[in-house]
Amino acid sequence: MAEPSPQENNIQENNIQENDFAYQQIIHLLNSKNINYKLTTHKPTKTSQESAEVRGATIASGAKAMLIKESKNQIFCLLVMSAAKKLSWKLAKQIINSKKCGMASEIDVYEITKCLPGAVPPFGSIFKIQTYMDNSLIQQGDIINFNCGLRTKSIQMQIQDYLKVENPKICDFTEE
């Protein structure tokens, strides 16, 4: 059996457990807006690659959501991009107008989203934080897939419906 990662050890030490708050909020939001979506239950996934495999989807269609902490003002935002791309920290700093920012800690992720790392959905609005979406997600196709607050549930929906419901700021902050 593999050793737990340092991140998993920190989560276990702090007794953080999966919570369905974000899942319930997203389902309510999508249903209240009459949005068509496909909900899939699957084995737990921790990475974008694992998620793409259990969904039977391309990794590019995965909407990877990264909680970012701006250091000076301690402000959080959500950066959403195609899971096939890498974040450009240089561009991210420009987008959020910060000289110093970084990934939120797993404790911050849980306190803000009530999600375990890897389960954060691309809806900053339900956490009352700004969502920025990279153009790579639009360019990859009409359908997006994402974990919806739980590592065992995924949603597939039209990118245009996501844009209509979430209304993220669309910009460029990824690299190959």
Report domain extents, the chain.
19-150+164-175
**31's tokens:** 């249903």
| Closest of 142, 148, 147 to residue 161, by C-alpha | 142
The per-residue pLDDT for range 128-159, each reduced to its tens digit, is 999 999 999 999 999 999 999 999 999 999 99
Number of residues in the chain: 176
pLDDT over 60 at 9, yes or no: no
Which CATH homologous superfamily contains domain 19-150+164-175? YbaK/aminoacyl-tRNA synthetase-associated domain (3.90.960.10)
Q: What is the DSSP string of 37-62?
A: EEEEE-S---SHHHHHHHHT--GGGB
User: pLDDT tens digits for 93-134?
Assistant: 999 999 999 999 999 999 999 999 889 999 999 999 999 999
The pLDDT assigned to 1 comes to 41
